[in-house]
Amino acid sequence: MTNHSTKLVLAALVFCGVAFGQADATIPPMAKVYIAPMHGFETYLAAALAKKKVLVTVVSSREQADFEITGTAKEQRNGVWRAVLLSQYGSQEDA
């Protein structure tokens, strides 16, 4: 897991606390969390939570959850001209 992925997990958890009106912007330990579909990013987020041993339980439905993590994920592939003129290869991912 990269440092960038760790920051994404922490940002998502803090955002989740803020979005649901938590005064201290934290999710309590052992809370049930639902991760909404985000074009495959939810799989990485769930894996990161497990790898970092975050004390939450990921559930498979909204109805079972105390909190919900939502967001968007986007990938933009660089075209031939961007690669040739600007020497930018690969793609750009945002979550």
Strands 74-77 and 91-94: antiparallel
Among candidate residues 60, 36, 50, 61, the one with its CA nearest the CA of residue 5: 50
- Domain residues for the domain of 62 are 3-94
Q: pLDDT tens track of the chain, all 95 residues?
A: 455 555 555 555 555 444 455 455 688 899 999 999 988 888 989 999 999 999 999 999 999 999 999 887 666 666 666 656 666 555 656 55
Tokens standing for residue 78? 């660089």
Gap between the Cα atoms of 6 and 94, Å rounded: 14
pLDDT confidence of residue 18: 47
Which pLDDT score, from 0 to 100, does residue 76 have? 67
For the chain, what is the domain count?
1
> Which phi and psi (to 5°) does residue 69 adopt?
-105, 125
pTM over 0.85: no
56 CB contacts (<8 Å, ≥6 apart)?
13, 27, 29, 30, 31, 32, 33, 49, 67
